[in-house]
């Protein structure tokens, strides 16, 4: 359910693009991201850092897309957000005693420190890869292909990665 909530603005962006154009879809993504953050705040009285970063980037790059009537800004958002996540995850190895992944998941499962570190590096690499792959798609394919990649490609790759990470973690979970 959480993954659906996280992908809510992307799904609405996709639907809006199919009915209108990239600029209308960008406005829909901006509004839906604001609503996502608002509902998260109402429900939990806090907002995840991922949603805050995404909100700032969609407002900034989506706003530039609308204001300048240039879709390259919204297309770059996927890469910028993923690269920021990658940097934050990697940086957490050097700041504090626990990595971001460990802080996020330690209440749910218990793993050895080296496994938390590997997971954190893996996720950092994954986000860096998605950012680079997005740039490749942006500059080598048309907007229709990019929109499909943004929803189906990124979602599919993410699901496969989560499954692989789950298999890796299952081998190391402390009983």
Length of the chain counted residue by residue: 175
Q: Would you state the pLDDT for residue 59?
A: 96
Evaluate whether 75 touches 138 at the Cβ level (below 8 Å): yes
CA separation for the pair 105, 98 (Å, rounded)? 11
Q: Would you state the pLDDT for residue 39?
A: 87
Q: Would you state the pLDDT for residue 28?
A: 97
For the cut 70, the answer to whether the pLDDT of residue 1 exceeds it is no
Of the listed ranges 13-27, 91-105, 117-131, the least confidently predicted one is 91-105
- Both tokens of 145, joined, read 């292909």
- Both tokens of 19, joined, read 């009915």
Measured distance between the N- and C-terminal CA atoms of the chain, rounded to whole angstroms: 26
Of residues 97 and 153, the one with the higher pLDDT is 153
Q: What are the pLDDT digits (tens) for 125-164?
A: 999 999 999 999 999 999 999 999 999 999 899 999 999 9
For the cut 80, the answer to whether the pLDDT of residue 174 exceeds it is no
What pTM does this model have? 0.87
Q: What share of the chain is helix, strand, coil (3-state, %, to 5)?
A: 80, 0, 20
Q: What are the pLDDT digits (tens) for 5-46?
A: 777 889 999 999 999 999 999 999 999 999 999 988 988 888
């Amino acid at each position: 359910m959480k993954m659906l909530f996280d992908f809510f603005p992307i799904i609405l962006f996709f639907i809006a693009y199919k009915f209108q154009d990239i600029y209308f879809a960008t406005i829909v993504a901006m509004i839906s991201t604001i609503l996502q953050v608002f509902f998260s705040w109402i429900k939990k009285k806090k907002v995840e850092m991922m949603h805050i970063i995404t909100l700032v980037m969609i407002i900034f790059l989506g706003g530039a897309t609308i204001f300048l009537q240039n879709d390259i800004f919204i297309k770059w958002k996927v890469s910028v957000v993923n690269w920021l996540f990658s940097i934050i995850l990697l940086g957490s190895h050097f700041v504090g005693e626990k990595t971001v992944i460990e802080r996020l998941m330690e209440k749910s499962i218990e793993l050895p420190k080296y496994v938390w570190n590997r997971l954190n590096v893996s996720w950092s690499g994954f986000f860096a890869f998605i950012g680079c792959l997005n740039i490749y798609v942006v500059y080598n394919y048309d907007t229709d292909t990019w929109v499909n990649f943004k929803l189906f490609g990124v979602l599919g790759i993410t699901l496969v990665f989560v499954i692989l990470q789950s298999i890796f973690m299952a081998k190391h979970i402390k009983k």
